[in-house]
Structure formats: structure tokens, C-alpha cells
Amino acid sequence: MKESREREFDIETYEAPMDTPEEVKGSWKDELDKLSLEGNGRLEPEPLIDFARANPKSELHSLFEWDDSKAAHEHRLKTARTIIKRYKVIFVDPVNQEVVLVPKFIHINSTSQPRQYVIRTEVHKDEEMKKIHKERLLLELRSWLDKAADCEELQELRRVIIEELK
């Protein structure tokens, strides 16, 4: 198994590792690492926001929208997306006949399509949208594979999936 890229460090003497890309050194990722050390390896949103607000020259500060009217609109958009994503319908898996809940609307976002949520049945009627949906699902699967890379109990499953993706 590959060696983890995670490193232990002391907040007082922390320096970015030598193989850290230049664009990451001294960045918001550094700031997150320091905050998580202060929290004994835990990181919560509220202290993160407090830090960013109190440090306007920090990289983290620049990642937040501080104009409350713009932030409120962004929050409403996020809430709308969440509502759309939470709408599930019953689907019978043709492989094992299990009943599963799937999102009624599928997120379609590409250079040729505007960002939208489309009813599942309509996506399956359109070849371009089906392709976009499949590519997104594969990206999500690869993301899961990356997240599970350090979970020993899932290595066999990861191996099988990786082999199938080849």
C-alpha cells in the first residue's frame, strides 16, 4: 500500500513539506491545517468562519462572500439545490430487484447544456444528457475510490472497482 501523504506536525514549527506544490504553500490549506491542529485534529465550520472574519488578509478570508446580501442569495440558491436533490423516487434495481430511492432530478452541467436539474426519465431519453450523467457518476465513483484509499477494510472492493473501470 502506498505511504500516506499526510504528515504530523507541530503548529509552532510547521512548515509546508518540501514536495508541497508552490501554489499550496502558505495557502488556505495551510490555514486549515493549523486550525485543525488547534482543535486536536477536528475542524468545525463556526471557528473557521470566525478565523476568516478576524483575518482579512488570510487566504481563507478571500474564499468567503462577506457581502451579506450576496451571501444570502447564494445561501438560498444552495437551499434550492438541496431541496431539488432531496426529492427521491422509488426505483427497482434490475440487477437484484431491490427497491432503492434515487433522485427524481439529475444535475446536468456541461459546456453545451446550461446548469440545470432534469427529470430522470427525460435524461434517459436524451443521448447527450445520458452521457453527461454517466460521466458525472464515474467522477463521483472515482472520488469515492480516492476517499476510501486509506480504509483497509475497503481495499478489496476498491481493487475490484478499479479493475472494472479499466
Do 91 and 20 share a structural domain? no
Tell me: do 54 and 74 sit in the same domain. no
Same-domain pairing of 108 and 158: yes
Q: Is residue 1 part of a domain?
A: no
Does 159 lie in the same domain as 77? yes
pLDDT of residue 26: 58
Mark whether 50 and 116 lie in a shared domain.
Answer: no
pLDDT score recorded for residue 27: 82
According to the model, what pLDDT value does residue 81 have?
94
**Residue-number span of the structural domain to which 26 is assigned:** 7-64
77 and 157 co-located in one domain:
yes
Whether 60 and 52 have beta carbons less than 8 Å apart is answered as yes
The answer to whether residue 2 sits within a structural domain is no
Amino acid at 79: T
Residues 60 and 140 both lie in one domain:
no
89 and 33 assigned to the same domain: no
Total number of domains in the chain: 2
DSSP H helices in 39-126? 45-54, 59-62, 68-86, 120-123
pLDDT tens for each residue of 21-39: 554 455 888 899 999 999 8
Distances in Å between the Cα of 60 and the Cα atoms of 18, 31, 77 are 22, 7, 22
Q: 74-120 pLDDT, tens per residue?
A: 999 999 999 999 999 999 999 999 999 999 999 998 887 678 999 99
